[in-house]
Structure 1
Amino acid sequence: MKDKKLKILLVEDDTNLGFLLFEFLESNGFDVKLYRDGISGLNGFFSSEFDFCIFDVMLPQMDGFTLAENIREKNKKVPIIFLTARSMKEDKLKGFRIGIDDYITKPFDEDELLFRIRSILNRVNNIASSETQQEYKLGNIIFDVQNQVLKIDSESKRLTTKESKVLAMLARSENKIVNRDEIMKEVWGETDYFIGRSLDVFISKLRRHLQADPRIKIETIPTVGVILSISEE
C-alpha cells in the first residue's frame, strides 16, 4: 500500500502563480487543494483535514493574517507558511505573533519553497519524536507537552505550538542556559533578527502564562540564551 500523500492547503489569488505552485507541489508528491481568496480557503480548511498550509498575505475577501488567526484559534499545530511580496519587519513580526512557521518573500525559487516545507515537516516530526517526557512539574504548574496545556490548580491554559515547543526546550534543561540560536533553529528552523524578536515575544508570553507561581522565572541572558529556574520554597 502506498504511503498517504501529505495534504497542502494553498491559498493564492494570483492565477498564474497559484497554478504553477499547484503543479509543482503535486509533482513533488503532495496532495494540493488550491483556493483563490481567504474566505474560500478558510471554508476549505474546515471542510477537510490538511497537513500543511501555504497562504499569500494579500488575499481578497480575507487577508492571510486574518485567515491564519482564524485557523490558529482552532488548530495550533498545522504548519503555516506565508507568501508575501512585502518584506516589512512589522509584517513578519505580526505573522510570527499569530503563530505562523515561516515567511518566503516573492519572487522566490520553487525549490526554496520545497526545502522550507520539508524542513518544517522534519522539524515537527523530530520534535514530536524527541518529546519522550510527556509532563513537566514546574512548581505548582503541570506542563502537559503532548496536549500543549498548562494545568494550574483546577484550571487549564492551552499554549500555541511554538509556545509549547519553546517551553519544552526550557523545561528539558531546567536551571541550565539554553542557547538562543538552538531555540530558534529547533522551533523556527533558522536564525535571523526577525526570528530573534519573535522569540522575545514568545518568552514574554510564557512569563505571563507562568506567573501564577512566582517561584518560576524565565531569565534572558543577553546575547547568550534563556534559562528556566524554579526557586526553593
Structure 2
Amino acid sequence: MPDTQGLVLVAEDDPSIAELERAYLSRAGFGVHVERDGGAAWEAIQRLRPVLLVLDVALPSIDGVELCRRLRGASDWTPVIFVTARGEEIDRLIGLELGADDYLAKPFSPRELVARVKAVLRRTAMTPRGHEAPVLEVGAVRLDPTRRLVLAKGEPLELTAKEFDLLHALMEHPGRVFTRSQLLSAVWGQVEYASSRTVDVHVAQLRAKLGDASPLRTVRGVGYAADS
C-alpha cells in the first residue's frame, strides 16, 4: 500500500517492537522511518519532517521525553505519541504535560497504535502547527485539547486517553447528535475489535467521572450528544 497518509517516524530500540510498529503502520498507508537511538531520531526529525512521532520513552543517547522537550522548546508541535514499558501515573502525566498527544504502555496491540495515530492526526489536523487548539466549554465542563486537561466545576479530572478523545469529539459540536458508528470512526478509527458497546461503556465511565456536571445526553435509538 502506498504511503498516502504521510511519514511517521518511529523511535524504538527494541527491534521486534519496531518492526511490528513499522509493519502495521505501513499496512495502514503510512510511510515509516525507524530509528533505534534518540540522537539519530533527532537528526531524522529535522531532516524528514514527519507528520507524527512514535517515541519510546527509554531510548539510548537521548530519551523520548527529552526529544519531546526539545521539539516543544523549538515551538515544533509535530504530534507525539509516547510508547513505554513504564505504567506509573507519574510517567504518563509528565509525558502529557510536555505536550505529548497520547501515551501507550507496553504491551499494546499494534492495531491500537494505528488507531491512536489516526485519531491524533485527525485531531491535530484542525489546529495549525504552533498554535494552540481553542479551549472548549459546555456547561460546567471545560476541556483544553492542547494540554489534554478537563475541569468539571473547576475540579481537574483524570481521564483515560479514549475517554478524553470521546469527550473532545462530543464537546467540539455541542448539541449535535452523533451515532455510535460516527464516534467509533472519530475516536477509535473504526478498529475492527471496537463495537457500539465500546462507546456505551466509555460514555458510562465519563458520566461517572463528570458526575452532575456531565453534559452528555443519550438520544434513544441514535447515539449521544453534549448539551450545555
User: After superposition, what is the alpha-carbon deviation per residue over 1:47-96, rounded to whole angstroms, capped at 9, x for unaligned?
Assistant: 12110000000111111100111122224321100001111111111111
What stretches of structure 1 move > 4 A for 4+ residues in a row? 184-192, 222-225
1:49 lines up with 2:49 in the alignment: yes
When residues 16 and 195 of structure 1 are mapped into structure 2, their CA distance, relative to the original with a 3 A threshold, is: closer
Structure 2 residues not aligned, in runs of 5+: 152-156, 165-210, 215-228
Larger radius of gyration: 1
The whole-number CA distance in structure 2 between the counterparts of 1:189 and 1:113 is 22
What is the aligned partner in structure 2 of residue 169 from structure 1?
Answer: 135
Question: How high is the TM-score relative to the length of structure 2?
Answer: 0.60
User: After superposition, what is the alpha-carbon deviation per residue over 1:19-38, rounded to whole angstroms, capped at 9, x for unaligned?
Assistant: 12112211211011100011
- Asked if 2 retains the 8 angstrom alpha-carbon contact of 1:93 and 1:194, the reply is no
When residues 190 and 51 of structure 1 are mapped into structure 2, their CA distance, relative to the original with a 3 A threshold, is: farther
Paired residues, number: 161
1:11 lines up with 2:11 in the alignment: yes
Structure 1 residues not aligned, in runs of 5+: 129-145, 149-160, 200-221, 226-233
Any residues of structure 2 matched to 1:163-202 within 5 Å, and which?
A: 164-165=132-133, 168-169=134-135, 177=139, 179-180=141-142, 183=143, 188=148, 193=158
CA-atom RMSD, angstroms?
Answer: 3.5
- Asked if 1 retains the 8 angstrom alpha-carbon contact of 2:9 and 2:53, the reply is yes
Identity value in percent? 28
Worse overlay, 116-125 or 48-57: 116-125
1:29 lines up with 2:23 in the alignment: no
Question: How high is the TM-score relative to the length of structure 1?
Answer: 0.59
When residues 82 and 224 of structure 1 are mapped into structure 2, their CA distance, relative to the original with a 3 A threshold, is: same
| SS of residue matched to 2:46 | helix
